[in-house]
Structure 1
Amino acid sequence: MAADTLLNRTRLPRPDVSDQDAADVLREYFGLAGEIEELGSQQDRNFRITTETGRFVLKICQPEYGLAELEAQNAAMQHLSNRVADIRVPQPVPALSGQEIITVEINGQSYRARVLSYLDGEPLTQHKYLAPEVIAAFGELAAKTAKGLSDFRHPGLVREIQWDLRRAGPVALHLLKSISDQERRDTIAKAMIVTVKRLQPLTSQLRVQAVHHDITDDNIVSHHSEHGRLIPDSVIDFGDVMEGWLVAELAVTCAALLHHADGDPFVILPAVKAFHQHYPLTEPELKALWPLIVARAGILVASSEQQLSIDPDNDYVLGNAAHEREIFAVVTSVPFSLMETAILDAAGFELGPIETVISGPLLPSLAPSDIRLTDLSSTSAEFVEDNWADREIDWKALARAASDTGTASTRYGEYRLSYTRLRAPQPPATFALHVDICLIGGTEAIAPFDATVLRDGHHVILVGKDLSIHVDGIDCEIEEGGTVAAGDRLGQIAGPVGGIGGLRLQLCRDIDLVPPLFAKPQHAHVWQMLCPSPAVVLGFPVEAPAPETAALLAKRQQNFAASQKHYYGHPPQFERGWKEHMFSVEGRAYLDMVNNVTILGHGHPRLSAAIGRQWSMLNTNSRFHYAAVAEFSERLASLAPDGLDTVFLVNSGSEAVDLALRLAWAHTGHRNILSLLEAYHGWTVASDAVSTSIADNPNALETRPGWVRPVLSPNTYRGRFRGEDTTADYVAAVAQKLAEIEAVGEGLAGFIAESVYGNAGGIVLPKGYLSEVYARVRDRGGLCIADEVQIGYGRLGHHFWGFEHQGVIPDIITVAKGMGNGHPLGAVITRRDIADSLEREGYFFSSSGGSPVSSAVGMTVLDVMADEQLQENARTVGDHLKYRLEGLIDQFPIVGAVHGMGLYLGLEFVRNRQTLEPATQETTAICNRLLDLGVIMQPTGDHLNVLKIKPPLCLSIESADFFVDMLEKVLLEGW
């Protein structure tokens, strides 16, 4: 086929065919009738018809596409269907004449027409986010398709189309003529020139075979997996099938994935790895991959521009144009060498050794013993409170170190906390690819290898054979473009002789690249290969130790009991926090929306000071006489309703609940305890016994001891009775249980319940429920226990205690978690006569409950809560947060309800709002996606389908908005 035919094809409009024309063709030539809907295409017309016997696709194209080409497409589908069992592909449907491809006349024009079977499912074009597992499935599907076509032969495969990446250069030059935007045209042209230059040495080594050449998010049909994700399993649209480069198959797929990259080209790596695993590529093919991806992006943008110039009403092209420009923006945002290295690394290939010979150190007068390395990591003692946010903190720390020793250096390969960013949906660049050195001005600098000297102001680059050194802070004596031999003098450190000077030093294996000073954590491994440690030219180590996150997790799993679970399958390692933020060892800030233990927030300086002061004076057990325990007990009693004047101090909420149950038994002389289904109260034998949450214990309902009497959960959202006016129904369920106890002649010890249904997701109990239940329990001599461990202590904002919302006063209050801000501290508050009942069975003692340090912690927490008005903040921010969360209900069908109040909220996800089928797997996936976006969130409830929203009470409006914004992003883009 002549080249001018190829270029003429690029100017073809779509056939002039209406829905009615399509219906006529289907009825007359194929005997099909039904509902017609046009599908998108760049140069064809495609129509879906729904008939009583099934759905089909009518494809109509210009006659310039030869019969052999269309026959090759049909034959490729049949071939692939026979070769690969786990990939679905369309199949040709013969016309009434028996032919698979016919010529039709429409409006005086001749076109070619054929019908294919229709594959049900959903394309992924509109799903902005694709999980790594989905991206890997793309690569696997592309590999299996290519492998299935590897032995396919047909005369119609030898064709010239604009999408053939072997002809990307001339096609791009032709298409660029139609782009009126000069800047865009120049950008595409420059990218294509570099692409062709990098491809030329490789083309002879690239394998040629039959390829689909269009496995994109438009042309893959997907079905939902167990996480509510779409997993590719079918390939459609064989319109570009041809004989071409094997690696181009993967390039086309990867280019399409970059529309889902959120700016990060590394998202393609799971697809590369999966393709290579199923259909191995050679090293030249892997090196050609990124240039081909760039070429594909350039052709996409240029082709759309040209097509719109001749067919401006093509909605398909209009819809894809923005995606294609985004793809092109992503491919041109990173250097070729970075992506080549990343692709080779993903496929298991290593970079070759550095050939530049380094003969000596850059600063020969410096000895390793002269250098003091500063620590700027997340665990550094340099960081106090929030001084990491000081933009000059690195230099200040470096200067302090240099003032002690005369010479100090930052560390290469360190994740610096000072470069973190709060409320950032993407990890900031925190990984240092360079070092900064404070040293004596006038120190001599020597060339460590033969090099050409390039200069850009004060920035000096020494370019060797395959290694360059980027230096700032040297008074270089070599002119621009001059050469130096190894050992020659370069100059001296800038600054007054004998004073402190500064040097910035960085290496790079791409001699044409000026690398960034920092890399994002997810890119650090690859950048580290491109920008090795400056130690090689300094002659002494300057590397920071790499975080041992994976090794520490393995050690945890080896020595830490398996029943003590951790959040997330691949959890970040946290070693520092501040207010409502936690920082990973990779320097990323995460918004902590689940940590109700730290009620004040992380790293509070007043609490740290109080603990340190008290511990430096005295810490012992409460059997000794000291002021703190008396003062703290008095403070707690003053917070409780009148009459609840006696305090027990313990170590945890589980112990508090356990003790409350013992008090009820001792005071009443009976054992039976009413507890609510779906509840969680703790891990001790007694507190676990009254816990019935099947999320925490799948066998909970079958393993309760006989003295536990579970009653119907008053879950007004998904319980047996739904809605606000259900109090009488749920109280009747309690009355029935009480009658059962009386029927066997047994007494009642008490009733325990969270005042707001915390474990179920913060569900507010029906109005008047506790008042009615408390009255019935007390009529039978039982005690009423309010478990405030999770929902009390100001967290509800509108009330200090949860039971205040129900207008009741319990006999016993249990509290823990927030009252110690993470320090092991819990309490039971009750009446004196109830407390005295326990003494008949012996005395009570808790080793660290009420210790001087614990009491100091408890009083400081209360002081800070009052001074910083944290309960008021919980009300204000919590109301705002709930309002914003409720706004998601109308946008997203998966959002079923918002529960709770203040800063104890639950967002429940359902698959169906009528049946309330819980979206359990989706909730887990949403939490994982939120972690990617910098938000810590976990599921709760019996079905683990409720977001457990209980952040530190210092949560700001900005952080609350960031959380909802990120959640909305997940729900919009996918998980």
Structure 2
Amino acid sequence: MTTVFLTRSSLPRPALIEADAAAILRDHYGLTGTLDELGSQQDRNFRLTTAEGRFVLKVSQADYAMSELEAQHAAFAHLAARLDGVRLPRVILTKSGEGIGTAEIGGELLRFRLLTYLEGEPLTRRQHLSVKTIAAFGELAGRLALALSDFTHPGIERELQWDMRHAEAVIRALLPSLPDADHRAHLETLTNEAAAALQPHLPLLRQQAVHNDLTDDNTVTLGALPDGVIDFGDLSRGYAIAELVVTCAALLHHGDGDPFTILPAIEAFHAFRPLDEAEIAALWPLIVLRALVLVTSAEHQAGFDTENAYIAANAEHERRILEVATTVPLALMEIAIRQTLKRFTPPSPISGGKLLPTLEPATVSLIELDVESAALDDVNWLETPVEFPLLAKAAAETGFAATRYGEYRLTRTRLLSTAPGETFALGVELLLPPGTKIAAPFAGTVRLTGNALILDGTEASLILRGAASELRNGATIYAGAALGEAGQNGRLWVQLCRLPGIVPPAFATPVQAGAWATLCPSPKTLIGFDCDAPLPENARLMEIRKRHFAQAQKNYYARPPQIERGHREHMFDVEGRAYLDMVNNVTILGHGHPRLADAVRRQWTRLNTNSRFHYEAVAEFSQRLADLAPEGLDTVFLVNSGSEANDLAIRLAWAAAGARNMLCLLEGYHGWTVGADAVSTSIADNPAALTTRPQWVHPVVSPNTYRGPYRGPESTGPYVALVKDVIERLDAKGERLGGFICEPVYGNAGGIPLPPGYLKEIYAMVRARGGVCIADEVQVGYGRLGHYFWGVEQQGVIPDIISIAKGMGNGHPLGAVITTRAIADALENEGYFFSSAGGSPVSAVVGMTVLDILEDEGLHRNTRETGDYLKARLEALGQRFPLVGAVHGMGLYLGVEFVRDRETLEPATEETAAICDRLLELGVIMQPTGDYLNVLKIKPPLCLSRESADFFVDMLAHTLMEYGTPRR
């Protein structure tokens, strides 16, 4: 057996040139066309493009038996009857009716076949695969394994180097051919570890026919998910689990360096073709061996087939597969797989005596370092080490202090990071009086490594850092014997590990926390007190939300992180993951501003009531808003939200004009109250918007200068004419006009500016008919544009009413309507107006403090300068990625519009959703907007730093490298 697959592994590809392939196609199939050579390790494959369609000519050495090729053809037919929705190759017969032909070319006896070509993109071209795609890949492997379980053919009984039954033998046979001795030794060590873990399970592994090469190279897609399988050249009998092994190994180079990313594929495979106990235990050792086979085979063949570009191109990601597969212990991955498949039985607790015999548990003070810790509210935990000072402060009060095990520490978060940090504590840090005695909780052998003293027992190892000890390496001690004592500074790290011989990490990433916590359980029984932190309850809270929080109130993302803290332009979830917030236009100052918090606390301790009482704050705030407003707008209403502000603005227009007909723009959004929703026509927010507007609402064509019927800055006239037509139809029916509402920058469409002079002409027509002009500045006003405080300034007009909210309160419910005294008085003729919280003392103080901070911290200047810098960098992406159609907006109200074709402007809706999901994984919060949900709505806090702007653009560029090519 060894001789056969070693002989084959040393075979070069057939010495076939394009002219030879063309001759085969012409002579045996009567076909001519354009030929392109496709990559292969040991065959020659040519794609033929003809007027009748596309085909693949496959040419192999005659060393491969005819029955092996016939088995592949039989498998096509077998699977076609069992795999609905999966595209498979079909065999094209020669002119003489044969499925497999033979020819002698250049002294070589070769076999050739012609198959239909499966259109689509191989998944190998995608640097990153989404969780959904990974799961779909696993499902495809499971369906394929199930469908092949009853396939038999003499041609699958073959000896093949890719057969996982021979993986160890292949590796050991090929290793001597590798020139680098250190590299050989490393690969041999990895082989030994995987083979030893696999050995007990080999006799129990089920066998059947397997495709044996379901990789990202051999699956194609016409959409987002794999739907076609090609290259059955490795079809053979083997371990049934090999189908999943091959797929998982192929996925590893797409996973950002974390082997846990392939777990959804295993779960999906298991749902179709359940794994038994032996297969679960053998899975990861087999994946490591598969990676070793790939590396050793490629390096072996590259030594004699030096011109094979396919091998060279694949070598880097095959080395990456091996690197990722071996970044964590084999035992850890088995635990993770079992936990994913819900086939995990927690091990028994580790037994032992007291580690600290003199410690009184009642005197221990536990400190909290998680995202909800009150201890972190008033300290600069992002820039200054705070863990030890907080520990020391607690110890000073009680004598003993400790951190918590299993806590996701906010203090370990990393800002502007592409991956979550190692935030999950796998041990406990104690602060003890110097000299506190430390005893062995169980018998064992001492191992000294680095700064750690490790006691290796029969059940587990005890890892101590900071202990003063005179024990020597290799010393054997009994339970209760002295291990040492607390060092001079009293700090002692305590950790357990069930896996012998390793030094585990002190902290784990959130995705690996569950598996590592099994290997490194809590030391609470040994230290004598409960030091465990409660685990986050994201799933339970989401279930409560779904049960009691009305479903019309949507949340971002299918699997939203639980966000519980913010700082400036950053947000933090309960697992300590930091996100750059690029979408939260409500908090213009940034999250957690201490000055605003102090102002609210101070006012709330004094008074909070409603604006029917007389107090200083409401008067001062109203005056400041009137002073900020355009000339002539001097009267203020304070409300709770943008929806309420726009609803009130419409009522004011009705009262002042004595008419109800309102003009609004298509694609606009103004809120969710009855009036504000009536003039909102965005189908992204309400798919039925265009068919459910009341009769008094008259939408006009959006003056979208990018994708509207008229484009560019010269489109003002045609768009104005469209509005004029609507107004004249009302005139003809004798109906009066109440007003016109629009955003002065087209916010919901991604920040598209209105064409020059548009509002000036529309306002004139509306006012000529007694109507009122409303500028909805809720999203685009209040300094967010950087170059203007109000959006209407860009159009050079003064509206009759301005509505504002969102940033006014930095997240506090606060909005306003600013208008003229005459329009305000018109409403009073219909009755009084009152908003309980809109003008409360706390709300008014919040509003004034926000204005103070905007001025004192120069946030208007930062918005202009950082916004211009950000826009320039975003526009540069359009030179590199055809998916970027345009960059809209100004300041820190920007929109990147994605299109599949820059001529037709076909919206890239699916790609935009995928980009937003991927950005979340990379640490950026972003969401789509626009009627086609193909525009990134970029509205970060106005304190956005240039460093954060760079991180956002870099992550967007990184994502576009993965997703950015328009779908063919």
CA distance in 1, matches of 2:132, 2:599: 48
The aligned amino acid for 1:906 is G
How far has the Cα of 1:9 moved from its partner?
A: 2.1
CA deviation digits over 1:126-158, x for unaligned, max 9?
111111221122222222222222233333333
Within 5 Å, give how 1:303-702 maps onto structure 2: 303-351=297-345, 353-354=347-348, 358-384=351-377, 387-390=380-383, 392-456=385-449, 458-476=451-469, 478-495=471-488, 501-702=490-691
Query: CA 1:551–1:492 in structure 2 vs 1: closer, same or farther (change >3 Å)?
Result: same
CA deviation digits over 1:19-42, x for unaligned, max 9?
110111122233332222211101
The aligned amino acid for 2:28 is Y
CA distance in 1, matches of 2:912, 2:851: 35
How far has the Cα of 1:488 moved from its partner?
A: 3.2
CA distance in 2, matches of 1:117, 1:928: 35
How far has the Cα of 1:691 moved from its partner?
A: 1.6
CA distance in 1, matches of 2:143, 2:517: 33
Contact kept, 8 Å, 1:341 with 1:351, in 2: the verdict is no
CA distance in 2, matches of 1:636, 1:411: 49
Query: CA 1:67–1:692 in structure 2 vs 1: closer, same or farther (change >3 Å)?
Result: closer
How far has the Cα of 1:476 moved from its partner?
A: 3.7
Which of 934, 937, 948 aligns to 2:923? It is 934
How far has the Cα of 1:514 moved from its partner?
A: 1.3
CA distance in 1, matches of 2:803, 2:579: 31
CA distance in 2, matches of 1:390, 1:83: 60
Contact kept, 8 Å, 1:354 with 1:466, in 2: the verdict is no
How far has the Cα of 1:516 moved from its partner?
A: 0.6
CA distance in 2, matches of 1:502, 1:647: 60
CA deviation digits over 1:909-956, x for unaligned, max 9?
223333333233332232222111111111222222221111111111
Contact kept, 8 Å, 2:887 with 2:896, in 1: the verdict is yes
CA distance in 2, matches of 1:466, 1:35: 66
The corresponding residue for 2:869 is 880
Contact kept, 8 Å, 2:911 with 2:963, in 1: the verdict is no
- Which deviates further from its counterpart, 686-695 or 152-161? 152-161
CA distance in 2, matches of 1:377, 1:691: 42
Contact kept, 8 Å, 1:751 with 1:782, in 2: the verdict is yes
The corresponding residue for 2:816 is 827
1:119 and 2:113 matched = no
How far has the Cα of 1:530 moved from its partner?
A: 1.5
CA distance in 1, matches of 2:137, 2:91: 24
CA distance in 2, matches of 1:541, 1:803: 61
Within 5 Å, give how 1:817-896 maps onto structure 2: 817-896=806-885
The corresponding residue for 1:152 is 151
Query: CA 1:187–1:205 in structure 2 vs 1: closer, same or farther (change >3 Å)?
Result: same
How far has the Cα of 1:395 moved from its partner?
A: 1.0
Contact kept, 8 Å, 1:386 with 1:578, in 2: the verdict is no
How far has the Cα of 1:485 moved from its partner?
A: 3.0
The aligned amino acid for 2:931 is D
The corresponding residue for 2:721 is 732
How far has the Cα of 1:477 moved from its partner?
A: 5.3
CA distance in 1, matches of 2:388, 2:791: 49
Within 5 Å, give how 1:30-429 maps onto structure 2: 30-224=29-223, 229=224, 231-351=225-345, 353-354=347-348, 358-384=351-377, 387-390=380-383, 392-429=385-422
The aligned amino acid for 2:549 is F
How far has the Cα of 1:234 moved from its partner?
A: 2.4
CA distance in 1, matches of 2:732, 2:124: 64
SS in 2 for 1:42: coil
Within 5 Å, give how 1:736-755 maps onto structure 2: 736-755=725-744
CA distance in 2, matches of 1:670, 1:81: 67
Query: CA 1:445–1:724 in structure 2 vs 1: closer, same or farther (change >3 Å)?
Result: same
CA RMSD of aligned residues (A): 1.9
SS in 1 for 2:878: coil
The aligned amino acid for 1:203 is L
SS in 2 for 1:344: helix
The aligned amino acid for 1:916 is L
Contact kept, 8 Å, 1:650 with 1:846, in 2: the verdict is yes
SS in 1 for 2:572: strand
Q: Following TM superposition, where does structure 1 have runs of at least 4 consecutive aligned residues deviating by more than 4 angstroms?
A: none
CA distance in 1, matches of 2:727, 2:751: 26
The aligned amino acid for 1:843 is Y
How far has the Cα of 1:282 moved from its partner?
A: 1.9
Contact kept, 8 Å, 1:139 with 1:270, in 2: the verdict is yes
SS in 2 for 1:372: strand
Contact kept, 8 Å, 1:195 with 1:294, in 2: the verdict is yes
CA deviation digits over 1:565-612, x for unaligned, max 9?
221222111111011111111111111111111011101111111111
Query: CA 1:52–1:658 in structure 2 vs 1: closer, same or farther (change >3 Å)?
Result: closer
Contact kept, 8 Å, 1:474 with 1:491, in 2: the verdict is yes
SS in 1 for 2:490: strand
How far has the Cα of 1:63 moved from its partner?
A: 2.4
How far has the Cα of 1:864 moved from its partner?
A: 0.9
CA distance in 1, matches of 2:136, 2:833: 60
CA deviation digits over 1:96-139, x for unaligned, max 9?
34333332111222222222232222211111111122112222
CA distance in 1, matches of 2:379, 2:588: 18
SS in 2 for 1:637: helix
CA distance in 1, matches of 2:84, 2:660: 63
Query: CA 1:457–1:99 in structure 2 vs 1: closer, same or farther (change >3 Å)?
Result: closer
CA distance in 2, matches of 1:523, 1:438: 28
CA deviation digits over 1:412-468, x for unaligned, max 9?
111101111111111111111111011223333232223222222541222222322
CA distance in 1, matches of 2:51, 2:778: 61
CA deviation digits over 1:823-854, x for unaligned, max 9?
11111112222222222223322222222221
CA deviation digits over 1:152-198, x for unaligned, max 9?
33333333222222222332233333433444333222211212222
The aligned amino acid for 1:244 is G
How far has the Cα of 1:278 moved from its partner?
A: 1.4
SS in 2 for 1:750: strand
| TM-score, length of structure 2 as denominator length | 0.96
CA distance in 2, matches of 1:698, 1:82: 40
CA distance in 1, matches of 2:756, 2:7: 75
Query: CA 1:624–1:352 in structure 2 vs 1: closer, same or farther (change >3 Å)?
Result: closer
How far has the Cα of 1:791 moved from its partner?
A: 0.3
CA deviation digits over 1:231-252, x for unaligned, max 9?
1222221111222222222111
How far has the Cα of 1:318 moved from its partner?
A: 1.5
SS in 1 for 2:121: coil
Contact kept, 8 Å, 2:631 with 2:798, in 1: the verdict is no
CA distance in 1, matches of 2:893, 2:597: 26
SS in 1 for 2:40: coil
Query: CA 1:355–1:501 in structure 2 vs 1: closer, same or farther (change >3 Å)?
Result: closer
| TM-score, length of structure 1 as denominator length | 0.96
Contact kept, 8 Å, 1:658 with 1:684, in 2: the verdict is yes
SS in 2 for 1:680: coil
CA distance in 1, matches of 2:100, 2:520: 57
CA distance in 1, matches of 2:627, 2:85: 69
- Which deviates further from its counterpart, 75-84 or 532-541? 75-84
The aligned amino acid for 1:115 is L
